[in-house]
Amino acid sequence: MRTVPDFPEPGVLFRDIMPLLADPVVFAEVVAALAADAPGPIDLVAGMEARGFLLAAPVAMALGAGVVPVRKAGKLPGPVASATYALEYGTATVEVQPFTVPDGSRVLVIDDVLATGGTAAATVDLLERCGAEVVGLSFLVELGALRGRDLLPGRAVDVLLTL
């Protein structure tokens, strides 16, 4: 993983996981570690756009589960359910096709980075409104100083690396 200063805007330190994904040994180790941390049987793994997709699909395969993409607004054909959340500079919306989330499904949410927690909290809300039981959240990296866990009280949150 590499740190890219001032991307996508000045003052931001972007955590680029592409070198990790390009290394087949390290990528396999990350997938195995994320799957090993899964809390009990999992029906679906929800990957948050966009790098979460790259981790969710192989983890779902390792767990014998399905995968559900949680997309930015306007990227999925309807019907969709949506959740809007606050950003420092406005709002954003995530969507899922509710028919892909059967009532009572045990869902593990995965993304590459837990930063401020807004996207993760909106994703949990969205999936639960669709009838899922979100049993855990897993992240490759947590940016601890941004306190994203504060938006996920009482949730099982696993991370492989805290920065």
What positions carry a catalytic annotation? 51, 88
CA–CA distance, 115 with 14 (Å, rounded to integer): 11
Q: Which residues of 129-139 are buried (b: 16+ CB within 10 A; e: fewer)?
A: ebebebbbbbb
Are 118 and 90 in contact by the 8 Å Cβ rule? The answer is no
Strand partners of residue 148: none
Q: Which residues of 22-46 are buried (b: 16+ CB within 10 A; e: fewer)?
A: eeeeebeebbeebbeebeeebbbbb
Token pair of 123 as six digits: 């994703």
DSSP single-letter state for residue 113: E
- How many helices and strands (H and E) does the chain possess? 4, 9
